[in-house]
Amino acid sequence: MESLSGSIENEECRIDSISQSWGVISNAADNDKKYISMESLENHLIDTENGIIKLLDPPFNKTKLEPGYIKAYLPGVRENGGQYTHAAMWAIIAYSKLGFGDKAVEYYRMVNPIEHSRTKEAARKYKVEPYVIAADVYGANNLQGRGGWTWYTGSSSWFCKAGLEDILGLKIEKGILRIEPCISSKWEGYSIRYRYKTSVYNIQVKNPNSKCTGENQKFYFNGKEIEEKQIKLEDNGSINEIEVLL
């Protein structure tokens, strides 16, 4: 059976970002291949000039393979080689999981729709609202950088998740709060104000040593160092202070 996507044997769709990213996110790929796959994604699918992360490349056009409905789109439009924003978010999450904070933050900023309206020229190219996530951005020929469908995409929730959980590192599971950031080494720090029912948690993350991750972080809760680097959230009307040193 012939491969339909992400195969070096094909002239079209030789690389597919979903395979690259989810090999990392699912932890299915071997350790070395995780890094190799994301390097390939960066080399072949990230278009910094147009501010997009493509879904696949090259687009389906003249191939005899039948990948389904995506071939009906023009090359570079929507799933056929444009930015499909769900997959762009997964790529950013994969970079975060590998500890590449500088890349994760750079590409997160790059795909933010507001970046497509910094100048009149950019806004004329993008052509859609810069204050909502577009489901897709075109990626080939004279349509490069033009926004597609807006207002309805579930990738907006992935955008929020990638920023809050994978970059800022706010992790909450079964009432346990942890801070596991993957940020730009240039950041001096940041703050989060998290409300849990009747309680408030003021979180300060400081990065005095220009790190991307906090593997050896110091975690303080209301002035006391917590060796476990996590706390149980309490619904007791309290105001709490968390300080994390990377």
User: Over the stretch 3-39, which tens digit does the pLDDT of each residue have?
Assistant: 445 556 666 678 899 999 999 999 999 989 999 999 9
Question: Exposed, middle or buried by CB within 10 Å (0-12, 13-18, 19+), for 37?
Answer: buried
Asked if 21 and 29 count as a contact pair (C-beta separation under 8 A), the reply is: no
Stretch 218-240: mean pLDDT: 97
At 5 the pLDDT is 52
Query: Domain 172-245 is of which CATH architecture?
Result: Sandwich (2.60)
At 142 the pLDDT is 82
CA 145 to chain centre: 18
At 20 the pLDDT is 94
At 4 the pLDDT is 46
At 127 the pLDDT is 96
State how far the alpha carbon of 6 is from the alpha carbons of 34, 37, 136, in Å: 15, 11, 20
At 3 the pLDDT is 40
Beta strands in 131-235 (DSSP E): 136-137, 170-173, 176-179, 189-196, 199-206, 218-221, 224-225, 231-232
Tell me which of 13 and 116 has the higher pLDDT. Answer: 116
Q: What is the overall mean pLDDT for the chain?
A: 92
User: Model confidence at 52, in pLDDT bands (50, 70, 90)?
Assistant: very high
User: Model confidence at 47, in pLDDT bands (50, 70, 90)?
Assistant: very high
Percentage of the chain surpassing pLDDT 70?
95
At 106 the pLDDT is 98
Query: Domain 15-164 is of which CATH architecture?
Result: Alpha/alpha barrel (1.50)
At 114 the pLDDT is 95
Q: pTM to 2 decimals?
A: 0.92
Cis status of the peptide bond prior to 130, with omega within 30 of 0: no
Domain with CATH 1.50.10.10 in the chain: 15-164
Domain with CATH 2.60.420.10 in the chain: 172-245
Tell me which of 153 and 242 has the higher pLDDT. Answer: 242
State the chain's maximal CA–CA distance in angstroms. 65
At 173 the pLDDT is 96
At 7 the pLDDT is 57
At 12 the pLDDT is 63
Stretch 82-111: mean pLDDT: 97
Q: Which of 89, 82, 160 is nearest to 126 (CA)?
A: 82
Stretch 101-114: mean pLDDT: 97
